[in-house]
């Protein structure tokens, strides 16, 4: 390799380092938002999401439903089943926590990296599937209270109602679903609306 090429490579590396180091989490600039968003999603969260998918596939294999009764919308799992997939959920929690710690852009009371609320949502789902319902509930509540402007707060509301139901708090869960029914009336968030319809149907089957 020629001296000129070596200098060019060193210059490129130096410029890259300067760019990355300038991407502060405390400056709400386009380049910063893009860098921390992309890095959080593809460098950190991707591996956590893959672990989550693996855990959910393993759970699906453990489903043992009674086909002589009305089947639930969401399969029921034992505590042992939840324990068996805990390592996958723990990996997701670890990765999501790392994304929050390294790439949160919480400036003047507002989060500017959309993958941070998403990270919390994935953590909440991981705690839910571990059957650590109290921690899941706290996580979903945190999203609902702090990220109202994000559409995934609607999903967190549905997961909160599901979690409350799993904790045996049926009256409270019923009230939450009732509130969400009016909230989602004519809602544009189709993903959250579908999740709500499935969760509410599952709740109704459970309480028959």
What predicted TM-score, i.e. pTM, was given to this entire model?
A: 0.83
State residue 68's pLDDT score: 74
Instruction: Give the three-class secondary structure for 111.
Output: strand
Give the C-alpha separation, 114 to 72, whole Å.
33
- Percent with pLDDT over 90 in the chain: 53
pLDDT band at 197, cuts 50/70/90? very high
Give the C-alpha separation, 99 to 96, whole Å.
5
- In CATH terms, the fold of domain 29-206 is 1.25.40
State residue 28's pLDDT score: 55
pLDDT band at 21, cuts 50/70/90? very low
130-182: pLDDT as tens digits? 999 999 999 999 999 999 888 899 999 999 999 999 999 999 999 999 999 88
pLDDT of 3 above 70: no
- In terms of Cα–Cα distance, which of 98, 97, 92 is closest to 47? 92
Q: When comparing pLDDT for 38 and 163, which is higher?
A: 163
């Amino acid at each position: 390799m020629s001296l000129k090429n070596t200098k060019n490579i060193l210059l490129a590396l130096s410029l890259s380092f300067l760019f990355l180091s300038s991407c502060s989490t405390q400056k709400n600039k386009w380049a910063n938002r893009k860098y921390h968003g992309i890095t959080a999603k593809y460098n950190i969260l991707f591996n956590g999401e893959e672990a989550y998918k693996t855990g959910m596939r393993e759970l699906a294999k453990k489903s043992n439903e009674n086909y002589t009764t009305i089947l639930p919308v969401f399969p029921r799992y034992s505590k042992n089943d939840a324990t068996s997939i805990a390592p996958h959920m723990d990996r997701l929690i670890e990765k999501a926590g790392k994304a929050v710690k390294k790439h949160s852009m919480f400036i003047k009371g507002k989060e500017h990296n959309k993958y941070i609320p998403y990270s919390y949502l994935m953590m909440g789902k991981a705690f839910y599937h571990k059957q650590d319902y109290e921690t899941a509930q706290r996580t979903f509540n945190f999203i609902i209270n702090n990220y109202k402007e994000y559409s995934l707060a609607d999903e967190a509301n549905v997961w909160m109602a599901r979690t409350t139901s799993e904790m045996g708090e049926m009256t409270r869960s019923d009230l939450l679903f009732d509130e969400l029914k009016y909230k989602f009336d004519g809602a544009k968030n189709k993903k959250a609306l579908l999740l709500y319809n499935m969760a509410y149907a599952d709740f109704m089957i459970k309480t028959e």
